[in-house]
Amino acid sequence: MPRAPGQIDLAKTEAILDAAAEVFGERGLAASMEEIARRARVSKQTIYNHYGSKPELIRAIVDRRVAEITAPLLMPEAVDHPQEALAALGRSMLTAILTARGTSMLRMTVESAAEQPDLARAFFEAGPATSRRRLAEFLAMETENGRMAVDDPVLAAEFFASMVIGGHQIAQLLGVERQFTPAEIDRVAGEAAARFMKAYSA
């Protein structure tokens, strides 16, 4: 008997998504489907078999990223030293943002925002909004514990996240940013955590 219908090659599906994310990141959404096909070592027709159109391909890329992003966003349980927890969170945020993958995904979403507003919203919810929400909960908890004195956890969470991320995200979008060493990431996240703790000490 023949191959059952609907048996499209899953490995190719991923290869297409990877290549598309890469090319869109480099050239912007103006990148051509032909180039994506070349990069994925796949025929253009195959892309259209898997995803029906360019907008749907873009959607698929962002959706996959949203799933990736949302997963590991668990705030640590209250630990003995909230400052350490904050520094760790800061490191992971900064590391994620400085990734080429993270930047190209953001650039894509920004560019498609005018045409597909729901995509941009989903991305924002999955990334920035969720992480800040979790952080706010953490700060509220630490305040109940008496280890911090955060009167407005939502605003404070915004402050901390922003201190860590800083202008780096914008700098990445503009293509203006030297490479960061892990030591520099440590230093920024550590300083941010320390100053934040001082600003919100009980």
Q: Which residues bind its own copies (CB under 8 A)?
A: 26-28, 30, 106-107, 109-111, 113-114, 117, 120-121, 123-124, 128, 132, 152, 155-156, 158-159, 161-163, 165-167, 169-171, 173-176, 188, 191-192, 195-196, 198-200
- Choosing from 48, 124, 159, 180, the residue that interacts with DNA (CB under 7 A) is 48
Query: Total residues contacting DNA (rule CB under 7 A)?
Result: 28
- The site partner of 43 among its own copies, DNA, none (C-beta below 5 to 8 Å per kind) is DNA
Q: How far is Cα 161 from Cα 159, in angstroms, rounded to an integer?
A: 6
At a CB cut-off of 8 Å and minimum separation 6, what does 158 contact?
132
- The site partner of 2 among DNA, its own copies, none (C-beta below 5 to 8 Å per kind) is DNA
Specify the residue for token string 């992971």.
Answer: 92
Specify the residue for token string 């005018």.
Answer: 114
Residue closer to DNA, measured from CB, 27 or 195: 27
Which alpha helices (DSSP H) does the chain contain, by range?
10-27, 33-40, 44-50, 54-70, 82-98, 100-112, 117-124, 130-145, 153-165, 168-173, 182-199
Nearest CA among 72, 29, 71, 78 for reference residue 53: 29
In whole angstroms, the minimum distance from the beta carbon of 179 to DNA comes to 30
- The site partner of 113 among DNA, its own copies, none (C-beta below 5 to 8 Å per kind) is its own copies
